[in-house]
Amino acid sequence: MTLNTRDTESKDIESSVTEFRHVITQDLLGKINALIDIEHREAGPDGPRGLHVSSALAGQIAEIVRSLPAFAALEANTKLIATKTLLVLNAKNKVNAHPLHIVRCVDPRVSRESHCRHYDSHILTLLVPLQLAEQSGPNGDLLVYLPSRPVPSVTRNIGAKLKHGIQRSLPFATRAFLTDRDVRTGRCVRVSCTPGSVYAFNGFISKHANLDIAAGQRRSLLIHWFDPGRSGGVSRAMRFARRISGNTSRILQRGKNAP
């Protein structure tokens, strides 16, 4: 995926990820992080973390980012390029064209979200780093596996999701060991992200994961486009379960904090 735009400077990373540098202003990043801080304060010090940032706030943050002409232009260009994969899938008439917005806020307490290899259900992923964790140790960087897989059938795609689901259930130490092995043997590349830049890749065919976090909190906005419906409903069910879990946790926490 190689892109050239007038509004942003782009750099191809190992032919799988394209970095658009200097897209989001530091002032806007500060405003976005302030909104996340408010939600975290409402949840309390023992409130939920990880993928439990509300979908409403994630959508609001996505629209704030889209207010920047540079981001709006690169999003439109990457969506256009992603339609090439749609043509290969021959799924233009049945693809889910609505974006999925997720904000991940991960700290050392959320090890369950680290070293979890997977493919996305969507074809295009735009990763927008909002805040980095401390750089003194593992900091949650993105890992992308090479080479990309061929476009899978529904059966093969569900099989891959089941395999990765089993790997996700392995102990943290085992998952971290497998990641370290993959990095040492060149099976994956580490993408060091910078707040203010945007990273585009095809998560449907590029397996990826994240390192764990030693200290601090890493915040990222993920915008997923074009779900071709090759997950047999598995991914949708998992997202629904996570959303219900997150909403229930927030309700219970608010009741706990009420006077």
Q: What is the pLDDT of residues 98-127, one digit of tens each?
A: 899 999 999 998 888 899 999 999 999 999
Average pLDDT over residues 25-47: 87
Residue 33 has pLDDT above 50, yes or no: yes
256: nearest Cα among 44, 53, 22? 44
Confidence (pTM): 0.83
C-beta neighbour count of 256 within 10 angstroms? 10
Specify which residues 102 forms β-bridges with: 222
Average pLDDT over residues 188-215: 94
C-beta neighbour count of 225 within 10 angstroms? 21
**Token pair 């998560």 in the structure block, residue:** 203
In the prediction, which pLDDT does 22 show? 93
Distance of alpha carbon 11 from alpha carbon 255, whole angstroms = 48
Which residue ranges form the domains of the chain, and what is each CATH number? 9-245 (2.60.120)
Classify residue 227 by its DSSP letter: B
Percent of the chain beyond pLDDT 90? 59
Specify which residues 218 forms β-bridges with: 106
Distance of alpha carbon 154 from alpha carbon 97, whole angstroms = 18
In the prediction, which pLDDT does 50 show? 55
Higher pLDDT: 42 or 30? It is 30
Distance of alpha carbon 210 from alpha carbon 113, whole angstroms = 8
